Amino acid sequence: MSSRLPFVFILITLVIDAMGIGLILPILPDLLGELSGGTLGQAAIWGGVLSTSFAVMQFLCGPTLGSLSDRFGRRPILLVSLAVMAVDYMVMAFAGSIWLLLVARIVGGIAAATQSTATAFIADISKPEDKSKNFGLVGAAFGIGFVVGPLIGGALGEFGTRAPFYAAAALATFNLVLGYFVLPETVTDRIRRPFEWRRANPLGAFKHLGKLPGLKSYLALFFLYEFAFFIYPAIWAYFTRAQFGWEPGMVGLSLGLFGVAIAVVQGGLIRVIIPKFGETKVILYGFVFNFFAFAALGLVTSGAIALILTPLTALGAVVTPALQGKMSQTAGADQQGELQGLVSSFRSVAAILSPLVMTQFFFLATDAEIGINQPGAPFFLSMAIMALCLGIFLPRRALSAAV
């Protein structure tokens, strides 16, 4: 059996997780209209409820699944989650009411909270010096899912509002079968630890793992960076419409370029620069690069230049795997699932809060009654957050160099 097959299985699992929200976005207006019979505005409200419920469950359940995988192993958690996901997509395909769709989205959010288990598997099989670059593949998988989800949803939506769900169920089932035959168990009795409910939730995991040296500051940096970086899915469609008059096709093209660039950076470039420069320098570069990238997008007035800048801004995405690598090195082998679950929860909180803040900031910056017309203003907020990250990270870097 090829040693690469388990890694392929993990990456496909992460792609499926990342597709979870994007897959149904193109067909949501029509589907929710069918189920509720309401207006487009009412459908949008329900769409927000579905997306938020999915993200909230990922936040709450990431540490739980991670801790369960520390106790029972990565293999059963991943396989059971895929089985639940396949059934969940079929339920959504046949859902006859919004309430059943909401329940299915809640269950789907729980089943898709396996990023912690998948990244713990990667931590299990990676040498310490290889963890950051292998974590880059996690980001690459999410970049692919970010691109593929809406594309599949939009293309299959031409065959009906339920077609994307059938495709997602088939993909989850295929990956379940693949995992059953190729996925080994990496949790041995040497690193297995008892499951404790008080640690299997975001607050409990943070209280316990927060005692690890340096982890709190790394988690703060991770949250701030993810919060700032979520500006792209949060306001890009609105920003480009207001600033350049882009239609949905051009918005989709630019987001596709961005997703592909993320996959290249985190799946390829990170594997070159981490061994050469180390995590600390890469994190510092990423914060500085993103500072200027956000400034450029906030100031740009040409749609052509913005389209060129879009994939280039992905060069700053090296921060996430580098930070994950540093955090993974602070925890023991029996804590990797719990740690990755906590990291996943921090990302989920950023995914929940950032759209709320960024869209409100965009609204205020373009409100005609206030007399302001600065669509790029939210990018200046992200730029300020990068400055804050540098303010947190530079003293820590100096301290580490002095030790």
The tens digit of pLDDT for each residue in 55-111 reads: 788 878 877 887 888 888 889 999 999 999 999 999 999 998 989 999 998 998 888
Q: Which amino acid is at 231?
A: I
Residue 41 clears pLDDT 60, i.e. is over it: no
Q: What is the pLDDT of residue 402?
A: 43
Among the listed residues 232, 79, 245, 88, the one whose alpha carbon sits nearest the alpha carbon of residue 147: 232
Q: What is the pLDDT of residue 186?
A: 83
- Helices (runs of H) and strands (runs of E) counted in the chain: 18, 0
Neighbours of 352 (CB within 10 A): 17
Residue 23 clears pLDDT 90, i.e. is over it: no
Q: What is the mean pLDDT of residues 317-325?
A: 86
pTM above 0.75, yes or no: no
Q: Which residues contact 281 (CB under 8 A, 6 or more apart)?
A: none
Predicted confidence (pLDDT) per residue in 357-402, tens digit:
887 788 888 876 765 788 889 899 999 999 999 999 887 665 454 4
Residue 2 clears pLDDT 60, i.e. is over it: no
Q: What is the DSSP string of 37-67?
A: ---HHHHHHHHHHHHHHHHHHHHHHHHHHHH
Between 102 and 154, the more confident residue is 102
- How far, CA to CA in Å, does 94 sit from each of 6, 90, 155, 164, 166? 32, 7, 19, 12, 10
Q: What is the mean pLDDT of residues 338-367?
A: 79
What is the percent of the chain with per-residue pLDDT over 70, rounded to a whole number?
Answer: 85
Q: Which amino acid is at 310?
A: T
Neighbours of 33 (CB within 10 A): 16
Predicted confidence (pLDDT) per residue in 207-231, tens digit:
767 677 678 888 889 999 999 998 8
The Cα diameter of the chain in Å comes to: 65
For the ranges 23-32, 280-289, 352-361, 370-379, the lowest mean pLDDT is seen at 23-32
Chain CA centroid to CA 185, Å: 25
For the ranges 65-79, 121-135, 163-177, the lowest mean pLDDT is seen at 121-135
Q: What is the mean pLDDT of residues 259-277?
A: 83
Chain CA centroid to CA 362, Å: 22
| DSSP run (H or E) holding 68 | helix 40-72
* Burial of residue 100 (number of CB atoms within 10 Å: 0-12, 13-18, 19+): middle
Rounded Cα distance, 220 and 283, in Å: 14
* Residue 166 near residue 93 (C-beta atoms within 8 A): yes
* Token representation of residue 308: 């060129």
Q: What is the mean pLDDT of the chain?
A: 81
Rounded Cα distance, 386 and 403, in Å: 26
* Burial of residue 132 (number of CB atoms within 10 Å: 0-12, 13-18, 19+): buried
